Amino acid sequence: MDDRRRDDRPSVSRRSPWWWVIGLAIAALVVIVLAPLASPDPDGLERVAEDGGFIERAQEALYEILPDYSIPGIDDPFLSTVLAGLIGVAVVFALMVGLGKLLARRRPPGERV
């Protein structure tokens, strides 16, 4: 009780322990709604590489898992891109949470919220 009063900083977990689900849902929405609408044109560097004549220096990847943000074998381009994107979102989220848990400091007893 005493501990609770001491921590008057705005608390993340007090408002909703599931807020990160909303954040993850926003990332998923970006993949589902916006990624399929992405401009097909080469990005700035690739465009300059084409115009500047050094695009042919690019080498093929050694192996392919989800090349070009698509799933090999899924022919529907929308499904292929969206599923590949969702896999990416899940993988980077899990990787970062795992790494964060390894690195983060526990709050001292009584400081935990």
Please give the residues from 5 up to 64 whose contact with other proteins meets the rule CB under 8 A.
Answer: 6-7, 9-13, 15, 19-20, 23-24, 26-28, 30-31, 34-49, 51-52, 54, 57-59, 61-64
2 near other proteins, judged by CB under 8 A: no
In the complex, what is the shortest distance from the CB of residue 36 to other proteins, in angstroms, rounded to a whole number?
A: 4
Contact call for residue 72 and other proteins (CB under 8 A)? no
> Please, are residues 59 and 68 in contact by the beta-carbon 8 Å criterion?
no
- Binding residue for other proteins, selected from 1, 5, 65, 73, defined by CB under 8 A: 65
**Shortest reach from residue 87's CB to other proteins, in Å:** 8
Classified as helix, coil or strand, 39 is coil
99 CB-side CA count, 13 A: 6
For residue 58, how many C-alpha atoms fall within 13 Å in the half-sphere facing its CB? 12
Q: Which two tokens stand for residue 97?
A: 């949470």
Q: How far apart are CA 56 and CA 7, in angstroms?
A: 59
Cβ proximity to other proteins: between 10 and 73 the closer is: 10
